[in-house]
Amino acid sequence: MLGVIEDSRNEFKVKLPDDLEETVIGFLNSKDGGHIYIGISDDGTVVGLKNNLDLLQRKIKDIIVSNIEPSVLGLFDIEVLEENSKKYIHITVAKGVERPYHIKGMGMTTDSCFIRVGSSNEKMSTTLINKMFRSRTKDSLKNIASPIQDLTFRQLKMYYIEKGFDIGENFERQLEFFTDDNKFNYIAYLLADNNRISIKVAKYVGDDVDEIEEYYEFGECCLITATYRVLEKFKTQNKVFAKITYPERIEKSMYDYNAVREAIINAIVHNDWSNEYPPKFEFFSDRLEISSFGGIQEEFTEEEFLKGYSAPKNPELMRVFKDLELVEHLGTGVKKILKKYDKSIYQFYPHFIIVSIKYNQNDFEYESHNRTRQIDYSELNLSKMEESIMKLILDRPNITQSEMANLLNLTPRMIRYHISELVNRGYIRRVGPNKKGKWEVIGGNND
């Protein structure tokens, strides 16, 4: 069984239906979006699909993209899942930002606009169609002209080529980089090689902003490039604490980088760029903070947001981040963060959202500095104790034999014995005088 029931947010189909676009439109026009499961019976039993699933996924994508207006790129996701060796397809549909959506070529009529009501799709009334159309956001990034029209996209094209995409002459149009009057829009501006957007990362001495220790600016370049630079800064700032106990080495980092990575990307993708305020990233002595502008969309509550229900504020931007595998699937970012941290890390305000994460405390023996050198210990014919000693030396070249004995719970005599063995076999050596020198891992004779 699938574990969910068919309702206002879930639709089950045994096979690909002929009216798939109607169901997708129904979810796009609804408050919460929804999920379509293909290969599932009405009672939630996984019956599976026997088709060529790669081909079926491409067919589904083509149906959705080709048969629905306005553009739905960035608003849906397709994945193959498996239960009891039976594979099925899961389509996630976000709430649209340019409602009402309708069947392409039919205009916004009662015969082409649908909305989800309970577990079925219903035709929308003319009154509801007009109401949605009037409330459609006029200032979406897609419709805002770039302040610079002489734009190039060398960096962005490089990222697409690296991911295996075939870059053609219509690259910019495929990514919807133009307004209706054929000018580069704000999405193009954010992703161009040359813009005036600057993302700042600040590190403070204490737990407030009184004294700044380090300051970095990543910007005036493709937003993807700036994102990678911010991610790298957060990776290098993440100290790792360690202790070595026989027979293993235990590590703990200042913060969970994967969860923080999701928070960083969410802040960038969902930021309200129309006000020209970039997200803000800050390190304090006791915590890190990530601030994005725009707040929660008015259609959603804080509780719904924390459960992963939201609509992409910038679907065209989301589409690019997903193409480049910076985003996996719609709606998963917040869920991944809350697997590692409590929901109290979120602070909601009318015009911005802050994610504040306290650092893990260093209650281990030491901070691990040298994590770059990788050694295949299985090829060195070492005992577990000798392996532990080499790992300690890699992390702390200045460590004393007395400190090794304390950390590994051995007598000084045993430490001297193992050190002598490692030196004689050519795995380590002492550099400099006994008191002020250091240990160095040099490999081994493998004899």
Cα separation of 373 and 443, whole Å? 11
The closest alpha carbon to 105, from 73, 69, 65, belongs to: 69
Rounded average pLDDT over 312-320: 87
pLDDT digits 0-9 by tens, 20-40: 999 999 999 998 899 999 999
Statement: residue 371 has pLDDT above 60: no
**Using 50, 70 and 90 to split pLDDT, how confident is the model at 163?**
confident
pLDDT digits 0-9 by tens, 409-428: 788 888 888 999 899 888 88
The closest alpha carbon to 54, from 89, 100, 96, belongs to: 89
CATH 1.10.10.10 maps onto the chain at 371-441
CATH 3.30.565.60 maps onto the chain at 198-358
**Using 50, 70 and 90 to split pLDDT, how confident is the model at 141?**
confident
Statement: residue 161 has pLDDT above 60: yes
Q: What is the CATH class of 198-358? A: alpha beta
| Cβ–Cβ under 8 Å, residues 155 and 193 | yes
What pLDDT, on a 0 to 100 scale, did the predictor assign at position 249? Answer: 64
Statement: residue 127 has pLDDT above 80: yes
pLDDT digits 0-9 by tens, 264-293: 999 999 998 877 789 999 999 999 999 999
pLDDT digits 0-9 by tens, 223-253: 999 999 999 899 889 988 776 665 666 777 8
CATH 3.30.950.30 maps onto the chain at 10-136
pLDDT digits 0-9 by tens, 90-125: 999 998 888 899 999 888 899 999 999 998 999 999
403 or 8, which is more confident: 8
What pLDDT, on a 0 to 100 scale, did the predictor assign at position 447? Answer: 42
Query: Whole-number mean pLDDT of the chain?
Result: 87
Q: What is the CATH class of 371-441? A: mainly alpha
**Using 50, 70 and 90 to split pLDDT, how confident is the model at 300?**
confident
Query: Contacts for 58-64 with beta carbons within 8 Å, 24 or more apart?
Result: 59/16, 60/16, 60/20, 60/89, 60/91, 63/20, 63/21, 64/20, 64/21, 64/24
DSSP state letters, 400-428: -HHHHHHHHT--HHHHHHHHHHHHHTTSE
CATH for the stretch 10-136: 3.30.950.30
Backbone angles phi, psi at 242, to 5 degrees: -145, 155
Cα separation of 280 and 290, whole Å? 6
Cα separation of 116 and 7, whole Å? 9
Pair type for strands 114-117 and 352-358: unpaired
- Preceding amide of 397 cis, omega within 30: no
**Using 50, 70 and 90 to split pLDDT, how confident is the model at 327?**
confident
